[in-house]
C-alpha cells in the first residue's frame, strides 16, 4: 500500500510538472508569435436589419502557427491573460484593426465600425484611454469607427474606475458595447450608470429549443431600445433566427448565416462605395 501510495504521489507530481512545462512552452511560443508576426485578425460582418448593409465588423484574433495552423483564441487567450501577455497582444490587435479599417476607408469604401474585444486586464490598465487615443492618432481612424467590446464581468470591481474609463472613452468618441450580454453578472444599475452604446445578445439565447429564450431575447431588445442603446444578436446561424430577430426589430445581426469571420482580403465584397 505504501508503495502504491508513493507511486500515485509521483504520478501526480510529474503530471504537475508536465502541465507546467506545457504552459511554459505555450508562453514562449506566444511571445515568439508576437515577435514573428504569426497573429492575424479575421473579421466577421455585422448586418443592419433596417438597411440590409454591413455596418460593422468584429475583429477576431487568429494565431497562424507555422506547424499547427490556425489556433483559436479560446486556446491561448486564457494563458495570455494569466501571464499578462494579453496587454501586448491586445495592443497589436487594437492597432491592426484600426489600421485596417482606415485602409478600407482610404480605398473609398463607405466607413463602417470595427469592434475589438478587450480583455479584463487590458481594460484595467490605467493607460488604456491614452493608448486608444495614440492608436487613433497613429492610424488616422476616426474614433466613431472604433467600438470596444467589454464583458459584464469586467464591470464587477472598482466601479469608479470603470465609470471614469468608460466616460473618457465615450468623450473620445469611441463606442462601447457589452459582449455576451446576459451570461455574466448583469445588473440594471450598470446599464443606467455606464455610458454603453450597444448590447450584444449572447448566442446561447438564440437556441430555439428553449422557448424561454425567445422571451429573453425580446426583453433584451426592447430594453436596449428603451435605454437608447443599440442591440446586436451574435451567433445567428439560421433563417428562422434571422426571421425572429427581424420581427423583433433587432438592430444588427452577426453570425454564420451571413458570414464566418474572414481574412481582411476577403471582406470587400460586403462593402458599399
Q: Sign of the CA dihedral 72, 255, 122, 133? A: positive
Residue matched to cell numbers 451571413: 258
Bridge-based pairing of strands 39-48 and 252-254 is antiparallel
Q: What is the dihedral of CA 156, 158, 162, 165, to 10 degrees?
A: -150
Per-residue mark of binding to ligand C2E, 203-232 (x: CB under 6 A): x-----------------------------
What are the two backbone dihedrals, phi and then psi, of residue 261, each rounded to the nearest 5 degrees? -65, 135
Kind and range of the H or E element at 146? Answer: strand 146-151
Asked if 179 interacts with Ca ion (CB under 5 A), we say yes
Contacted entry of Ca ion, ligand C2E, none for residue 45, CB cut-off 5 to 8 Å set by kind: none
Identify residues 54-93 at the interface with ligand C2E (CB under 6 A): 60-61, 72-74, 77, 90, 93
Interface pick for Ca ion out of 44, 46, 113, 117 (rule CB under 5 A): 117
Give the number of other CB atoms < 10 A from CB of residue 169.
22
Contacted entry of ligand C2E, Ca ion, none for residue 56, CB cut-off 5 to 8 Å set by kind: none
Three-point CA angle 41, 80, 182, nearest 5°: 75
Asked if 117 interacts with ligand C2E (CB under 6 A), we say yes
Structure-block grid coordinates of residue 126: 490605467
Residue nearest to ligand C2E (CB): 255
Structure-block grid coordinates of residue 107: 480605398
Per-residue mark of binding to Ca ion, 135-154 (x: CB under 5 A): --------------x-----
Q: Which is nearer to Ca ion, 152 or 179 (CB)?
A: 179
Contacted entry of ligand C2E, Ca ion, none for residue 135, CB cut-off 5 to 8 Å set by kind: none
Q: How far is the CB of 206 from Ca ion (least distance, A)?
A: 12
Residues across the chain = 273
Structure-block grid coordinates of residue 20: 507546467
Interface pick for ligand C2E out of 33, 43, 44, 244 (rule CB under 6 A): 44
| Long-range pairs for 221-224: beta carbons < 8 A, 24 or more residues apart | 221/248, 221/249, 221/250, 223/191, 224/198, 224/199, 224/251
Q: Which is nearer to ligand C2E, 79 or 193 (CB)?
A: 79
Asked if 235 interacts with ligand C2E (CB under 6 A), we say yes
Asked if 139 interacts with ligand C2E (CB under 6 A), we say no
Distance CA 180, CA 206 (A): 12
Contacted entry of ligand C2E, Ca ion, none for residue 182, CB cut-off 5 to 8 Å set by kind: none
User: Which residues in this chain contact ligand C2E in the complex, by CB under 6 A?
Assistant: 44, 60-61, 72-74, 77, 90, 93, 117, 119, 179-180, 203, 234-237, 255-256, 261
Return residues touching Ca ion (CB under 5 A): 117, 149, 179-180
Amino acid at each position: 500500500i505504501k508503495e502504491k501510495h508513493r507511486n500515485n504521489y509521483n504520478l501526480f507530481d510529474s503530471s504537475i510538472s508536465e502541465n507546467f512545462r506545457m504552459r511554459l512552452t505555450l508562453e514562449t511560443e506566444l511571445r515568439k508569435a508576437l515577435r514573428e508576426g504569426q497573429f492575424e485578425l479575421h473579421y466577421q460582418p455585422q448586418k443592419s436589419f433596417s438597411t440590409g448593409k454591413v455596418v460593422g465588423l468584429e475583429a477576431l484574433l487568429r494565431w497562424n502557427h507555422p506547424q499547427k495552423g490556425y489556433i483559436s483564441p479560446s486556446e491561448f487567450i486564457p494563458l495570455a491573460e494569466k501571464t499578462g501577455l494579453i496587454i501586448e497582444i491586445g495592443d497589436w490587435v487594437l492597432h491592426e484593426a484600426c489600421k485596417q479599417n482606415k485602409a478600407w476607408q482610404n480605398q473609398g469604401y463607405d466607413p463602417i465600425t470595427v469592434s475589438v474585444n478587450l480583455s479584463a486586464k487590458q481594460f484595467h490598465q490605467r493607460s488604456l484611454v491614452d493608448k486608444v487615443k495614440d492608436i487613433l492618432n497613429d492610424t488616422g481612424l476616426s474614433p466613431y469607427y472604433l467600438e470596444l467590446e467589454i464583458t459584464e464581468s469586467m464591470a464587477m470591481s472598482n466601479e469608479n474606475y470603470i465609470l471614469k474609463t468608460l466616460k473618457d472613452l465615450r468623450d473620445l468618441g469611441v463606442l462601447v458595447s457589452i459582449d455576451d450580454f446576459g451570461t455574466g453578472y448583469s445588473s440594471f444599475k450598470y446599464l443606467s450608470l455606464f455610458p454603453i452604446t450597444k448590447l450584444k445578445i449572447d448566442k446561447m439565447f438564440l437556441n430555439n429549443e428553449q422557448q424561454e429564450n425567445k422571451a429573453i431575447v425580446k426583453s433584451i431588445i426592447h430594453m436596449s431600445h428603451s435605454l437608447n442603446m443599440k442591440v446586436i444578436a451574435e451567433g445567428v446561424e439560421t433563417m428562422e433566427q434571422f426571421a425572429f430577430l427581424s420581427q423583433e426589430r433587432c438592430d444588427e445581426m452577426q453570425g454564420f448565416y451571413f458570414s464566418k469571420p474572414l481574412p481582411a482580403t476577403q471582406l470587400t465584397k460586403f462593402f458599399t462605395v
